Chain A
Amino acid sequence: MRSLLLAILIGLVGAALIHIIIILEMPRRTGTDAWSRVQSLGVENRFFPLANVPNDTGLYNEDPHIRTAVCRFDIRERPVRILASGDVPLWTVVAYDTASDETYSMNDRSSIGVNVDIVFVTPSQMLRLRRFMPQALERAVLVELTDPEGFVALSAIAPAPSQEPAARDFVAGASCAPFSIDPA
């Protein structure tokens, strides 16, 4: 009898451990997290505008007045520069790492000028840039990321239906290209 109680006790302790392991491991194993979905959209360094209706990718514009495009990047080799311009009342940018945790976000009020011009760099690339700042980056916002992989989501608002095309063009026309920091 005592050994049965002991077996049940060991079982309960094991259950608690497995409970904790499941909860902690789940974010990495669902396969439906934001990072996995962005990965399955396609290649790196390209903005994919999200559709307006639910679809197989699992990603879509839930808010009818906000249009979003996402771009996956890897800055191990070269930094990535986000550029977008157009006539939208308000835009926002948010960067996520591979765990889908926010690493950086900003909106048009906190930018220099009215256009999106952000460069994501690794800490070592930042050191090189501090020594020699290319003229092209003088007005860009430099953001240091510790995780070299991730994705960026660019959103624009369309308060009225007539502003929809502008918002869609803004996010669809954004570029997310690698940028060479070596002086040519």
Chain B
Amino acid sequence: MFRLPLLVLVSLVIAFGGGVWSASIALKATSGFGAISLGPWVAYPELQTDKADPFARAHRAGDGKILLGRAEGLVFTASTDQDGAALSGRCSYEISGLTPPARFWTLRITDSDGAPLSSPAPFPASLTSWNTLRDADGTFRIALSADARAGNWIRLDAEDGVAFVLTLIDTPTAGSAGLVELDMPVIQQTGCRDA
């Protein structure tokens, strides 16, 4: 006589348990579709629009950031180097090459959750297109390391994983579909401290 209530209970447990579990797994596993990746750099050009997919919208609502609009720019994030190894705050890197055309860009470091990493007062934690030194052909080389280097240098000294964030302001790439043709700077690891 308890057969039917038991079967209903089984259905409900599977429905609610499975639904909640699969939704949380799906939100952890994906950061949304519509990403464009250029080497290690990843950007979401439509994240702030109503064209963003439901997974991206859920993430966006959870993060609650003021995102850059289409006429404002595009944010590229790298969490691996050119060879696919995760970026570590214990290693030093060199970012070299060119950025896509933009009126202004900044390069900064965040932790693996996206919170900005700051440096103690005299040390540079970020560079911009205004204060980056370039070679004669317009390319640049930026060293990211714990100890100071000559030329372009950003201080990188953290215990855990890090991410590099390249923000392009007023760039035609934000609205173009031909983004895959673009040059992005190359991230090479140049050495690691002992753990």
Given the known interface contacts A8-B10, A27-B61, A30-B62, the answer about A19 and B170 at a Cβ–Cβ threshold of 8 Å is no
A135 interfacial contact with B, CB 8 Å: no
- In the complex, A151 Cα to B115 Cα: how many Å? 24
Interface residues of A (CB under 8 A from B): 3-4, 6-8, 10-19, 21-24, 26-28, 30, 32-34, 36-37, 50, 54, 58-59, 62-66, 68, 70, 89-90, 92-96, 99-102, 104-107, 109-110, 153, 155, 157, 159-160
- Whether B69 and A105, one on each chain, are in contact in the complex, defined by CB atoms closer than 8 angstroms, is yes
- Whether B71 and A106, one on each chain, are in contact in the complex, defined by CB atoms closer than 8 angstroms, is yes
- Whether A109 and B170, one on each chain, are in contact in the complex, defined by CB atoms closer than 8 angstroms, is yes
In chain B, positions 34-65 with a C-beta closer than 8 Å to chain A are 48-50, 52, 54-55, 57-58, 60-65
B192 interfacial contact with A, CB 8 Å: no
Nearest CB in chain B: distance from A80 CB, A: 17
B101 interfacial contact with A, CB 8 Å: no
- Whether A64 and B20, one on each chain, are in contact in the complex, defined by CB atoms closer than 8 angstroms, is no
B73 interfacial contact with A, CB 8 Å: yes
B85 interfacial contact with A, CB 8 Å: no
Chain B residues, Cβ within 8 Å of A66: 106, 167, 169
- In the complex, A8 Cα to B167 Cα: how many Å? 49
Given the known interface contacts A102-B48, A160-B131, the answer about A15 and B126 at a Cβ–Cβ threshold of 8 Å is no
6 A-B contacts (beta carbon < 8 Å): A11-B12, A11-B15, A11-B18, A19-B19, A63-B167, A153-B69
> Interface majority SS on A: helix, strand, loop or mixed?
mixed
Extra contacts besides A8-B10, A23-B23, A107-B72 (4): CB < 8 Å: A3-B7, A11-B14, A94-B71, A102-B50
- Whether B106 and A26, one on each chain, are in contact in the complex, defined by CB atoms closer than 8 angstroms, is no
- Whether B18 and A12, one on each chain, are in contact in the complex, defined by CB atoms closer than 8 angstroms, is yes
* Interface bracket on B: 35 or more
Given the known interface contacts A8-B14, A54-B115, the answer about A34 and B130 at a Cβ–Cβ threshold of 8 Å is no
Nearest CB in chain A: distance from B134 CB, A: 15
B126 nearest CB neighbor, chain A only: A64
Chain B residues, Cβ within 8 Å of A99: 50
B47 nearest CB neighbor, chain A only: A102
- Whether B64 and A59, one on each chain, are in contact in the complex, defined by CB atoms closer than 8 angstroms, is yes
A6 nearest CB neighbor, chain B only: B7
Nearest CB in chain A: distance from B20 CB, A: 7
Given the known interface contacts A17-B19, A157-B169, the answer about A64 and B125 at a Cβ–Cβ threshold of 8 Å is yes
Nearest CB in chain B: distance from A5 CB, A: 10
The 5 closest A-B pairs by CB, nearest first: A18-B19, A11-B14, A14-B15, A105-B69, A94-B69
B190 interfacial contact with A, CB 8 Å: no
